[in-house]
Chain A
C-alpha cells in the first residue's frame, strides 16, 4: 500500500511538519504551528492518530499542544502540569511518549514525570519519581534539570525508563510508584577520580530502547556511549571506534536491534560540533562492536552545527530512513539506512527534535 511519511520537527520557534510520499524524495514543509512556541518534542500517537507537541513559552509557561487533523488545527493545555504550591513551577515540557495502556507521558523541567489518561487534556504528577530519596541531590545539567528521555516498556505498562540530566537513568517496574537508579557502568568524568562510577549523578543525554526488544537500551551520555542488555541494570561502553565520547542523539534501526546511529561531537568544551567540522552519522551494525562514519551527501567542510538530543529519528520503511535536524535549522535525510544523505529542509529555527510517522496514503 502507498505510504506517506511525516517528519515532525520541533524547533525553538514552533512545530513544523515535512511530508513526503513513500519515495522520500520530495518533502513539503508546513508550519510553523503551536503559535511559534518553543517545541522541544513532538510525537504522533499511533493509538489515536493525534499529534502532541511539548514545549514551553517564556511568557506563558509549559503546555502540550494537540492536533487531531495532522496539524491543521490545534489546542493546548497545561491543566495539571504543575507541582504543589510553593515549589519551583514547571517551566517547560521536554519529552512525550505514548504509554502501552492508552496513557500519554510527559517529562518536564524541573525534572518530573506527568501522565495523561485523556489524550493530553489533563495531567497528573507521577509522584514516585520526585519522592525518590535521591531527589534533593539531583543537579541540573547545562540546560537545566530536565527529564528528557522517556521510554515506556513495549508491552508492560508498569515498566518505564527515564533519563534525567544530570541525575541519571531511573527505572520503575510498578507503574511509577517506586524507582531505582540504573547507572551501573556509566562514567561521570566530572566527578573526582575515585567517584567516577557513582550510583547517581550521571549526565545521560539520550536513551532509547531497541525496537522489538524489551531489555536492550542504548545511551548517549555526556561521558561515553553505552548499551545495556538487562533493562539498564548494567551498562557497557561501546565507544571504541568512535571519534569522541560525547554527543547527544541516538537512534536504533526499526527492525535490527544491533544497528544504532550516533552523532559524536568533538567534546563538551571544544565547541560541540562534529570533529574537523565535517558532518558524519556513525552507524554500527553489530551493537557497538564496530562503527562506520556515514558521510555521503553530508557537508564535509565548515559544518559547525550541533544536533540536539531528540533531533534524530528513523522511520519504519524498508529500507529504513534516518533523519536528523541541526542547530542551524537543516534537516538531513537518508532513505537507505544511512548510506547516503540529502538535505530536505533548511532555514528553520534551531531544531530541538525530529520524529517520524508512516501513514497509509
Chain B
C-alpha cells in the first residue's frame, strides 16, 4: 500500500485551501490520560500530520513530544492512521479525514 506521504508534494499546493477545513483526530485513551482536560476526539484545521501534532501541542502543551520525537519522526511505538492508512509526519490531510493516534503493541 502506498504511504500517504507519497502525496506530500500535492499537499503543498492544496494546503491553503485545506487549511480552512477541519479534520477529526481521535486520540488513544492512554495518551489522553497524560493530559488532564484533553479529549478523545478533537476537530481541527491541519494540512499535514505534522501540523496536526503542532495543533495538539498548542491545545495541550507537551502532547507533541509524546507523539513525535526529535529526529523528527512519529515515535517508534506510536501509530498515526489517516483514513485507514499508516501515516508519517509529511502525510497530507484532506478535508473530512479521520486521523487516529494510537499506541502500538509494545512492552512487557
Contact = CB atoms under 8 A, between A and B. Distances in A.
Contacts of A77: 62
A89 interface: yes
Nearest to B34: A35
Interface string B45-87: 0000000000000000010011101111001111000000000
Interface in A83-112: 83-87, 89-90
Given A60-B65, A78-B65, A84-B70, 12 more contacts: A35-B30, A58-B77, A58-B106, A58-B107, A59-B30, A59-B75, A59-B106, A61-B66, A61-B75, A76-B62, A85-B71, A87-B70
The prevalent SS among residues of B at the interface is loop
A268 interface: no
A60 B104 CA distance: 11
A83 B72 CA distance: 10
A82 B65 CA distance: 10
Interface string A67-85: 0000000001111001111
Contact of A89 (B62, B70, B103): B70
B31 interface: yes
A82 B67 CA distance: 14
A286 B27 CA distance: 58
B34 A83 contact: no
Q: Which 8 A-B pairs have the closest CB atoms?
A: A82-B70, A89-B69, A60-B66, A59-B103, A59-B77, A89-B70, A58-B106, A78-B65
Interface residues of B, number: 20
Contacts of B34: 35, 60, 76
A35 B34 CA distance: 8
B45 to A, nearest CB: 24
Contacts of A76: 34, 62
Interface in B7-61: 30-31, 33-34
Interface of B: 30-31, 33-34, 62, 65-67, 69-72, 75-78, 103-104, 106-107
A324 B101 CA distance: 40
Given A35-B33, A76-B62, A79-B62, A59 B104 contact: yes
A90 B70 contact: yes
A89 B71 CA distance: 6
Most buried by B among A35, A78, A87, A90: A78
A157 B13 CA distance: 53
- A35, A58, A59, A86: residue with the most chain B Cβ atoms closer than 10 Å: A59
B101 to A, nearest CB: 11
B71 A60 contact: no
A77 B62 CA distance: 7
Contacts of A84: 70
Contacts of B30: 35, 59
Given A77-B62, A78-B62, A79-B62, A61 B33 contact: no
A59 B78 contact: yes
19 contacts: A35-B33, A58-B76, A58-B106, A59-B75, A59-B103, A59-B107, A60-B75, A60-B78, A61-B75, A77-B62, A79-B62, A82-B65, A83-B70, A84-B70, A85-B70, A85-B71, A87-B70, A89-B70, A90-B70
A90 B75 CA distance: 11
Interface in A19-67: 35, 58-61
A193 to B, nearest CB: 39
Contacts of B69: 61, 82, 89
A24 B103 CA distance: 41
Nearest to A89: B69
A90 B71 CA distance: 10
Contacts of A86: 71
Contacts of A78: 62, 65
A58, A60, A61, A87: residue with the most chain B Cβ atoms closer than 10 Å:
A60
Contacts of B103: 59
Given A35-B34, A58-B107, A60-B31, A85 B72 contact: yes
B61 to A, nearest CB: 8
A89 B76 CA distance: 11
